[in-house]
Amino acid sequence: MVGNLNLNDAIQNGNISVGIIGLGYVGLPTAIGFLDAGFNVWGVDVSQRVVDTILQGKNPTGDPEIDDIIPDPNTKKWNITTDTSIAVENCEILIVTVPTPVTSDLKPDLKYVISAGDNIFKTIEPNSGKIVVLESTVYPGVTAQSWLPLIEKYGLKEGVDVNIAYCPERFNPGDEANGVRKVARVIGSLNPKIGDTLVKIYSKLTSGRVDYVGKIEVAEAAKVIENVQRDINIALVNELARIFPALNIDIEDVLNAAATKWNFHRYTPGVGVGGHCIPVDPYYMIQRAEQVGVPAELITAARAVNRTMPIHVFSVLKDILYKNNVSANDANILFLGWSYKAEVGDHRETPAEHLALALTDADIKVSVWDPHLENDVYPNNVDVITDINAAKDFDLVVLVTGHSICINLDWESLLKNMRKPLVYDGRRVLDITKLEDMGWDVYAVGKP
Ligand code: SAJ
């Protein structure tokens, strides 16, 4: 029961209201998913700009996947506001999808989780029985540590007046096949009955499996290690991409050969690891391990490999310029791509920023062309190219993001405009032989 509402009956007849707190890359598609699944939806964001943009039927995020699915503001069951208390008043289920970044000294920053919880719990009535679910990525223990003190502060009792749970977002920007209506979910809750109720609710949202996995910490841990494992796997190929060229072996040849084995998981070396998940979540696990006095040595080492990849690539680029008689303070480099990942317009934690800074600090000029990004996202040490056909007099082109628009560029005409025919494939996505046949001198991450 939530208030006088029998949740099971309500789930059956689609008469449930779900509040989504935080309408960013994860929250907005989640809110749209619940609307499409027949729920009454109350979307909340602290940003008036975000709310106004959505109420104009436009997409406030950089993820083009949701450009065309923003609901018409007059859609029944679709309510967007900056006021959390309205959502709490109208909803049986509140889902929190706020950012969980790391601070400049790489410590987890939980201020948004705490402030969203405070806005919710201060409005909840006693005996409401409402369910509050955290979806943001955190380390094991954060949901309880952040929210139970707030529940107590407002004189509420967990399990009576309000129930808390954790259901990690597994949203993958730019990947429809693993979108919010399809991806499998896990649910952790202090109370198995609440877990089962949430399994029923999320099973209306996604066609993927939904499992109650026990206490909240199990679900929190599952999410953070999913991304830790990915960071470690990428770090392995990035480390090998430093070793094999020194052995005069192309790492891509080695990885292609190894990938013929049935259980070899194929990852690709690159200029670095960006985004708001993979380079961030391991620091949550490192912090939690430190708190209990168990060193997370492998996780820390993998982070170091990936975090320094832009610097490794910088040193390789300097060697390329030197070998081709281009002096640093006269060099002019063109980045193809800036976004952290192919096919999305998202510059958060992009390795491009670290690579560009290393180059401009060495007096090398950097210009960037990334059609997926607005011009105002770039730092002031780079120039922005809006028309690739006007890109002239560069000494070296670096493919930083594997956007298809970069891969399928008119490389013939770009070559004519170059000062030197030098290209560096930072994502191993280019057809090296084809480019060499055109007259390009091709270098690449992990290639001798
Ligand atoms: N990257 C590599 N080599 C690889 C794979 C990725 O260098 O082999 C780089 C990418 O270029 C990017 C970064 O790592 O800079 C992260 O790439 P990603 O493909 O992991 O993309 P994300 O950050 O969008 O990760 C999301 C995550 N989804 C959720 O958190 C819900 C992650 O958990 C997923 O595993 C990942 O998508 C996915 O599977 O694509």
pLDDT at 443 over 60: yes
Ligand 1 atom 33, closest CA: 227
Residue 357's alpha-carbon distances to 318, 379, 445, in angstroms, are 13, 9, 19
Q: Is the pLDDT assigned to residue 7 strictly greater than 90?
A: no
**pLDDT surpasses 90 at 344:** no
Nearest residue by C-alpha to atom 36 in ligand 1? 172
Point out the ligand 1 atom lying closest to the alpha carbon of residue 238. 7
The pLDDT tens digits of the residues spanning 126-177 come to: 999 999 999 999 999 999 999 999 999 999 999 999 999 999 998 776 677 8
Radius of gyration of the chain (CA): 24
Mean pLDDT of 178-200: 94
Most informative mutation of 230, 236, 303, 348 for ligand 1 (most atoms within 8 A of CB)? 230
Which of 37-51, 63-77, 275-289, 321-335 has the least mean pLDDT? 63-77
| Residue of minimum CA distance from atom 27 in ligand 1 | 172
Atom of ligand 1 nearest to the CA of 169: 31
* Distance in Å, CA 302 to ligand 1 centroid: 15
Average pLDDT along the chain:
94
Length, in residues, of the chain: 448
Q: Which of 131, 153, 125, 226 is nearest to 185 (CA)?
A: 226
Reported confidence tier of residue 3, pLDDT bands at 50, 70, 90:
low
Q: Which residue has the higher pLDDT, 350 or 68?
A: 350
Give 84-103 pLDDT, tens digit per residue: 999 999 999 999 999 999 88
Fold of 4-215: Rossmann fold (3.40.50)
The C-alpha atoms of residue 29 and residue 179 are separated, in whole angstroms, by 8
pLDDT of residue 373: 94
Same topology between domain 4-215 and domain 307-444: yes
**278 Cα–ligand 1 center, Å:** 6
Q: Does residue 4 register a pLDDT over 60?
A: no
Give the residue numbers marked as catalytic: 277
Q: How close is the Cα of 340 to the center of ligand 1, in Å?
A: 9
* Cα pseudo-dihedral 148, 149, 153, 156, rounded to 10: 20
CA of 82 to the centre of ligand 1 (A): 31
Q: What percent of the chain has pLDDT over 90?
A: 88
Q: What is the Å distance from ligand 1's center to 360 Cα?
A: 27
Whether the per-residue pLDDT at 272 is higher than 70: the answer is yes
pLDDT reported for residue 5: 59
Q: How confident is the model at residue 276 (pLDDT cuts 50, 70, 90)?
A: confident
pLDDT digits (tens, 9 = 90+) for 19-71: 999 999 899 999 999 999 999 999 999 999 999 999 999 999 877 778 888 99
Average pLDDT rounded to a whole number, residues 190-204:
95
- Out of 3.40.47.10, 3.60.10.10, 3.40.50.150, 3.40.50.720, which CATH number does the structure's domain 307-444 have? 3.40.50.720
What are the structural domain ranges in the chain? 4-215, 307-444
Question: Letter for the amino acid at 229?
Answer: Q
Structure tokens at 75: 């859609």
Query: At 274, is the pLDDT very low, low, confident or very high (cuts 50, 70, 90)?
Result: very high
Instruction: Give the residues surrounding ligand 1 with Cβ less than 6 Å away.
Output: 169-173, 175, 226-227, 230, 234, 267-268, 270, 273-275, 277-278, 340-341
Considering only residues 440 and 3, tell me which one the structure prediction assigns the higher pLDDT: 440
